[in-house]
Amino acid sequence: MKEFLTDKINNLPPSATLSMAAKARELKNNGIDIIGLSLGEPDFNTPDFIKNSAIDAINQNYNSYSPVDGYSELKEAICKKFKRDNKIIYNPDQIVVSTGAKQSIANVIQALIKPGEEVILLAPFWVSYSAIVLMADGIPKILESDITNDFKVTAKQINDSISEKTKMVIINSPNNPSGSVYNKDELNEIASVLRNHPDIFILSDEIYEHINYGSEHVSFASIEGMYDRTITVNGIAKAFAMTGWRIGYLGAPVWIAKACTKLQGQVTSGANCIAQRATIEAITQSPNKINYMVQEFEQRKDLIIKLLSKIKGFKLNNPDGAFYIFPDISYYFGRKIGDITIKNASDFAIVILEKAHVATVTGDAFGSPKNIRISYAASKENIIIAVNRIKDLLH
């Protein structure tokens, strides 16, 4: 039946994060005791103050279509949040609320990237950026980094890679999958490069903003000269344990926001009305309300680093944010685990899944073929069991 599908769909890779989660779910349903460390999904419940506002919204009969770009009260709350947390002044007509930050990103790329235009991706990068660029017939231009430089691409690399076809740079800090946080100096250096190229846009994906263990979060649009060409994307999924509620949003120049609204109006309309009402409550409250989750993530990070560092061949760094660890496991390339010779990170992730029953994600999907991504958004108990299983398999 493949011949009936478009080339675009036939060539589109499935999301590696979601595929691994689906595979783990399937094995679990078949009675295998899998520990899922593949998905970036907090294991906490959504806080009660948010759940209660959703229940109120249902009882107040919020059941109709919302405006395509979101309720005006929500857009106003988002503007206040941007001012409070990010030092960025947006007006409500610069905000578009979508069904998850993923849709916000897809809207922007569909709106701005013309066939053949290049989008610079800083590896490691989140799996869907490259796929979304390819869907727009754009060209992902991948710049590499590795564990020795804390998985950060430099301003010089960006400068050297800019061509007349470059249309956009995607910056994601704190980063998925490395957890690295680009500091103010590093972002200022990138901005200095981009000042010489006024036609390049910046998509700043700040979805992990609040999962930060002490580094300063700097929003790219707040850097001098960057506001007029930066699109700031954020959402509630990671910070408020609301992945399934599917609300993301962006702040951008009015003309870009309008383009995204037009596109969304033809594809999905406004995001879920109950989830939008609950988001007003989530982002209006002080971010301190979720400190207990961030503190717990930090303890889990320390735990998983301590445990993984005892496994032969795992090279680790100590990231400042998000809830992933991204070890370099290239030591195993060309070696055998049981009777299987490991050729690459995908083989390694599959062996870990099949023999240790721990789900992770191969680094290939993130543009870093020596690594695997392990999510520690899981209980300490499961982290301990999972790492012991991996250790037993490898030692």
Per-residue contact flags (x/-) with ligand GLU for residues 74 to 113, judged by CB under 6 A: ----------------------------x-----------
Q: Which of 24, 35, 40, 293 binds ligand GLU (CB under 6 A)?
A: 40
176 binds ligand GLU (CB under 6 A): yes
Q: Which of 24, 34, 37, 39 binds ligand GLU (CB under 6 A)?
A: 39
Q: How far is the CB of 135 from ligand GLU (least distance, A)?
A: 15
Total residues contacting ligand GLU (rule CB under 6 A)?
10
Name the β-bridge partners of 234.
249
Residue ranges in 124-153 that form contacts with ligand GLU under rule CB under 6 A: 126-128
Distance CA 253, CA 256 (A): 6
Q: Largest alpha-carbon pair distance within the chain?
A: 61
Cβ burial, residue 231 (10 Å; 0-12/13-18/19+): buried
Of 15-23, 86-94, 141-149, 198-206, which segment contacts ligand GLU by CB under 6 A?
A: 15-23
Q: Which of 15, 110, 215, 346 binds ligand GLU (CB under 6 A)?
A: 15
Contact criterion met (CB below 8 Å) for 300 and 95: no
Distance CA 166, CA 197 (A): 9
Helix H, strand E, coil C: the string for 294-335 is: HHHHHHHHHHHHHHHCCCCCCECCCCCECCEECCECHHHCCC
Residue ranges in 215-244 that form contacts with ligand GLU under rule CB under 6 A: none
161 binds ligand GLU (CB under 6 A): no
Contact criterion met (CB below 8 Å) for 220 and 82: no
Q: How far is the CB of 381 from ligand GLU (least distance, A)?
A: 21
Distance CA 25, CA 45 (A): 20
19 binds ligand GLU (CB under 6 A): no
Q: How far is the CB of 373 from ligand GLU (least distance, A)?
A: 8
Distance CA 104, CA 387 (A): 35
Do the bridges between strand 361-362 and strand 372-375 make them parallel or antiparallel, or are there none, so unpaired?
antiparallel
17 binds ligand GLU (CB under 6 A): yes
Tell me the residue nearest to ligand GLU as measured from the CB: 40
Instruction: Give the footprint of ligand GLU on this chain (CB under 6 A).
Output: 15, 17-18, 39-40, 102, 126-128, 176
